[in-house]
């Protein structure tokens, strides 16, 4: 296999035109597993990790732009991300181990397009855009249109992900991410929930964004569940109603990590956790399907 390590986007585009069938690698934490197992056997591998243009975390007037080559460890270190998009930071804290966070990148997590990708629920909740570069130029696609199925994206041959644009919002009152796995660390999500909640002066929910991981072929978000909560107080009763709807909305599979019924129960239970922010009695967790 020929391996190339271009240092600029211009040099990258040159390599892509010479090797249109090449595979891309950034941190290698996903693709090296596929190469080693023989699942993938490209004639050429183009490594993106030395391209400086993909390494930026940029403060723009309306968005934070995170280059595809930014590692999860750098996401955790960035004061800009902490200030404007703390939900992403919260999720990345739960991703892999320090070694994986030092090598793995946001771009790799997006293109792997696993329903269990920990960086993805925040990108859905934040309505992020994926920026794509290729010989034909630059285009942006919303994250929920970019990811089309497990491992399937809107990338065309010869295109790479340049980064993700995360719109800035007024601060949210509740920024919450929880991942349920087989153990507390270094575990792939059995189910996860990213949640953003804004409360009005009178204490009702004025806006809410929810995105579940590992509960469908892609990240699940539901306008219906969010709508059920808008205008309500953050009470256990309101959350129970929304949780029942969430359990109907998700479409989990059974695999080595958990059964579909257990995952469906978790979809609601993860939502009930938001009751901890209400100051009221703790949530009643469903054990249905467990």
Ligand X SMILES: Cc1cc2nc3c(=O)[nH]c(=O)nc-3n(C[C@H](O)[C@H](O)[C@H](O)COP(=O)(O)OP(=O)(O)OC[C@H]3O[C@@H](n4cnc5c(N)ncnc54)[C@H](O)[C@@H]3O)c2cc1C
User: Does 16 contact ligand X by CB under 6 A?
Assistant: no
Type and span of the H or E element at 232: none
User: Does 100 contact ligand X by CB under 6 A?
Assistant: yes
Q: Which is nearer to ligand X, 45 or 243 (CB)?
A: 45
Using CB under 6 A as the criterion, what x/- string covers residues 155-174 for binding ligand X?
Answer: -----xx-------------
Token pair of 178 as six digits: 């929880």
Q: Which stretch binds ligand X (CB under 6 A): 73-81, 103-111, 221-229, 231-239?
A: 103-111
| Phi, psi angles (nearest 5°) of residue 105 | -125, 165
Q: Which is nearer to ligand X, 20 or 203 (CB)?
A: 20
User: Does 146 contact ligand X by CB under 6 A?
Assistant: no
Among 55, 63, 70, 109, binds ligand X (CB under 6 A): 109
Q: Which stretch binds ligand X (CB under 6 A): 5-13, 109-117, 196-204, 257-265?
A: 109-117
Kindly report the length of the chain: 290
Among 6, 28, 134, 167, binds ligand X (CB under 6 A): 28
Taking Cα atoms as reference points, which of 237, 247, 252 lies closest to residue 270?
A: 247
User: Does 214 contact ligand X by CB under 6 A?
Assistant: no
Residue with tokens 């069938």: 21
User: Does 87 contact ligand X by CB under 6 A?
Assistant: no
Q: Which is nearer to ligand X, 47 or 225 (CB)?
A: 47
| Phi, psi angles (nearest 5°) of residue 130 | -100, 125
> How far apart are the C-alpha atoms of 193 and 117, rounded to whole Å?
12
Among 12, 16, 22, 29, binds ligand X (CB under 6 A): 29
First to last CA, the chain: 47
User: Does 115 contact ligand X by CB under 6 A?
Assistant: no
C-beta separation of 177 from 87 below 8 A: yes
C-beta separation of 12 from 6 below 8 A: yes
Q: Output the smallest distance, CB 204 to ligand X, in A.
A: 34
User: Does 283 contact ligand X by CB under 6 A?
Assistant: no
Which residues lie below 8 Å from residue 210, measured CB to CB, with a gap of 6+? 125, 193, 194, 195, 221, 222, 225, 226, 246, 271
């Amino acid at each position: 296999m020929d391996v190339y390590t271009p240092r600029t986007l211009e040099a990258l585009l040159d390599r892509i035109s010479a090797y249109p069938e090449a595979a891309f690698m950034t941190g290698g934490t996903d693709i090296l597993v596929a190469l080693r197992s023989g699942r993938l056997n490209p004639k050429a591998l183009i490594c993106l990790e030395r391209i400086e243009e993909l390494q930026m975390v940029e403060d723009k007037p309306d968005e934070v732009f995170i280059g595809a080559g930014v590692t999860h460890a750098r996401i955790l270190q960035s004061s800009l991300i902490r200030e404007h998009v703390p939900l992403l930071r919260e999720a990345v804290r739960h991703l892999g181990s320090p070694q994986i966070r030092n090598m793995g990148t946001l771009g790799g997590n997006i293109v792997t397009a696993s329903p269990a990708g920990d960086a993805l629920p925040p990108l859905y909740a934040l309505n992020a855009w994926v920026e794509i570069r290729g010989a034909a130029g630059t285009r942006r696609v919303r994250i929920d249109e970019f990811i089309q199925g497990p491992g399937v994206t809107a990338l065309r041959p010869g295109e790479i992900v340049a980064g993700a644009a995360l719109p800035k919002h007024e601060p949210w009152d509740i920024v919450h991410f929880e991942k349920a796995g087989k153990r507390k660390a270094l575990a792939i999500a059995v189910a996860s929930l990213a949640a953003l909640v804004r409360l009005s002066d009178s204490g009702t929910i004025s806006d809410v964004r929810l995105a579940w991981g590992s509960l469908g072929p892609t990240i699940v978000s539901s306008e219906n569940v969010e709508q059920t909560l808008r205008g309500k107080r953050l009470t256990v009763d309101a959350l129970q109603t929304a949780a029942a709807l969430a359990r109907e909305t998700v479409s989990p599979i059974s695999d080595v990590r958990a059964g579909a019924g257990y995952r469906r129960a978790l979809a609601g239970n993860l939502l009930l956790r938001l009751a901890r922010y209400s100051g009221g009695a703790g949530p009643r967790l469903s054990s249905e399907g467990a």
